[in-house]
Chains A and B, each alone.
Chain A
Amino acid sequence: MRIFSVTEFIELVNETLQALGTYEAFAVEGEVSGYRVNQGQWVTFDLKDERSLVNVFLPIWKLRTPLEDGMRIRVAGTGRVYAKYGKFSLSAEQIELVGEGALRKALALLRHRLEQEGLFTSERKRELPRFPRRIALIASRDSAAYGDFTRIVCERWPLLDIHLYNVLVQGERAPEDIRRALAAVQASGEAYDAVVLTRGGGSFEELMAFNDEQLARDIFASRIPVLAAIGHERDVTLAEEAADVRGSTPTDAARRLVPDRRDVEYEIASRIRSMSDSLLRRLQENRTALHRILESGSHWASRYRIQVDAWASATEGGMRQLLESNRERLQHLTRLLKGLDPTAVLARGYSFVQDTRGRVISGVSRLGRGQAIFVRMKDGTAGATVNVVKKQF
């Protein structure tokens, strides 16, 4: 019989357990119970079935999926006795969820955690440029998604350079592959306006690569805005939630990425039209204004003319009036003068006496006996001699 020390015995047991094979050789399936994280770095829980229980231990960085009590999982690792306490546990290397239920549950947990961390907040989302020039497309060259996406982009917008980063879009290695591509895009030094990450529809498991926590974090940290469109409308992966813009399908992603050239051409034409309308309107307004000015000018002129006319006619009237009144005075004077005309008196039968020199003798005092006089009548003159002078009155 061999005698071992306790330490030797535990070492022997551990060596025997090691000999069972590496973690790739087997896995233990059961249900999680008593899940705990110690000091933020050590994960422990019990893995149970109906009759038995084994303690599972692993550092948290090896845990790639969130766990919760009741989840059905497969644990690959090595059985080991912890020497200090003699406690047996399964030291896990890899943990895999079993069945869609567990996957969905884990995804819900992870989603909640990332949401709490702020990876999906709308304030962090960046807008894509309206006219992107160059983009990095992370997709599988052989996928329908790639074909759909590039076809729609070509139809809509010819001004786009697409750089394809060909990746695996499903399977275990896909998340790593996509992350490497995303890192290569950041490191490329190309002036990419956006990164487009897309794949077509698939089963829940097939799309799981896009629910990878690290991928979601890398997308969130991308310096270039990310547009992600994975699967169909109803599938919302973490990659899409962490992205700046989500397209429901690859085709929708193409529509969100680039405008339709016909819309843009129409917009250009209508902008030009509204500019020319505005100019023409301005010209018309100027013409109207000019017209108005001219019109008001002629108003002014005609008003002025009326004024001038008024003045003119007033002046003329004045003149006429002046002339009129003068004429009346003239006539009056003429009448007066006519009354004074001695010949008019002679016509009525009067006569007057002149001396020999033609001077009018208006009284007898200037007459003497025998004086020669002339008597002037209406139709001639008669010479006479004064016989008698008789003073009357």
Chain B
Amino acid sequence: MAKKKVAGDFGANFKELEDIAEWFEREEPDIDKGLAKFERAMELAAQCRDELAKAEQKVKEIRKKFGEHDTVSLD
């Protein structure tokens, strides 16, 4: 099976992780399948943690003339 890439979308990664966790709760997993899924879950978890660790809050101000989309950084 081709390995899926872990993309940097926290919500999607977390959802996939949740789905795998539910699979574990629901199924009587056979060991091979379970191990493969577990490996994937570990990747996703690492990616989620990584994203949280790396991220910094970004605040942009949309200029007063709403509709023009030039923004200023407030950091």
A278 in contact with B29 (CB, 8 Å): yes
Output the residue of A159, A160, A162, A164 with the most chain B CB within 10 A: A159
- Which of A158, A164, A275, A278 is B55 in contact with, Cβ under 8 Å? A158
What residues make up the interface of B, taking CB atoms closer than 8 Å to A? 10-11, 14, 17-18, 20-21, 24-25, 28-31, 34-35, 37-38, 41-42, 45, 48-49, 51-52, 55-62, 64, 66-67, 69, 71, 74
| Complex CA distance for A184 and B52, rounded to whole angstroms | 30
Given known pairs A131-B11, A158-B56, A264-B52, the reply for A276 and B38 (CB within 8 Å) is yes
The 3 closest A-B pairs by CB, nearest first: A184-B66, A158-B55, A131-B11
- For residue B62, give the distance in angstroms from its CB to the closest CB of chain A: 5
Closest A-chain residue to B71, C-beta based?
A163
Q: Does A123 interact with chain B (Cβ within 8 Å)?
A: no
Q: Does A253 interact with chain B (Cβ within 8 Å)?
A: no
Q: Does A261 interact with chain B (Cβ within 8 Å)?
A: yes
A275 in contact with B58 (CB, 8 Å): no
Given known pairs A158-B52, A264-B14, the reply for A275 and B41 (CB within 8 Å) is yes
B67 in contact with A271 (CB, 8 Å): no
- Which of A136, A162, A164 is B57 in contact with, Cβ under 8 Å? A162
B-side contacts of A166, CB under 8 Å = 61-62, 64
The contact sample of 13 A-B pairs, CB cut-off 8 A, is A130-B14, A158-B56, A163-B60, A163-B61, A163-B62, A164-B62, A180-B66, A187-B67, A188-B69, A268-B45, A272-B41, A279-B38, A282-B28
- For residue A290, give the distance in angstroms from its CB to the closest CB of chain B: 12
CB-contacts of A275-330 with B (<8 A): 275-276, 278-279, 282-283, 286
| Complex CA distance for A278 and B10, rounded to whole angstroms | 25
B17 in contact with A268 (CB, 8 Å): yes
CB-contacts of A98-151 with B (<8 A): 129-131, 133, 136, 141, 150
- Additional pairs, 6, CB under 8 Å, beyond known A159-B55, A162-B58, A164-B59: A133-B10, A180-B66, A181-B66, A268-B49, A271-B18, A282-B34
A-side contacts of B55, CB under 8 Å = 158-159
| Complex CA distance for A129 and B12, rounded to whole angstroms | 11
| Complex CA distance for A184 and B69, rounded to whole angstroms | 10
- Which of B29, B48, B58 is A161 in contact with, Cβ under 8 Å? B58
A279 in contact with B29 (CB, 8 Å): yes
| Complex CA distance for A4 and B35, rounded to whole angstroms | 103
Q: Does A360 interact with chain B (Cβ within 8 Å)?
A: no
Q: Does A331 interact with chain B (Cβ within 8 Å)?
A: no
| Complex CA distance for A278 and B20, rounded to whole angstroms | 12
B67 in contact with A275 (CB, 8 Å): no
B60 in contact with A161 (CB, 8 Å): yes
| Complex CA distance for A180 and B10, rounded to whole angstroms | 32
CB-contacts of A151-195 with B (<8 A): 153-154, 158-166, 180-181, 183-184, 187-188
B-side contacts of A158, CB under 8 Å = 52, 55-57
| Complex CA distance for A195 and B28, rounded to whole angstroms | 43
| Complex CA distance for A261 and B58, rounded to whole angstroms | 16
B-side contacts of A141, CB under 8 Å = 61
- For residue A264, give the distance in angstroms from its CB to the closest CB of chain B: 7
Closest B-chain residue to A275, C-beta based?
B24
Output the residue of A150, A264, A265, A275 with the most chain B CB within 10 A: A275
- Which of B31, B51, B59, B64 is A159 in contact with, Cβ under 8 Å? B51
Interface flags for A348-361 (1: CB within 8 Å of B; 0: not) read 00000000000000
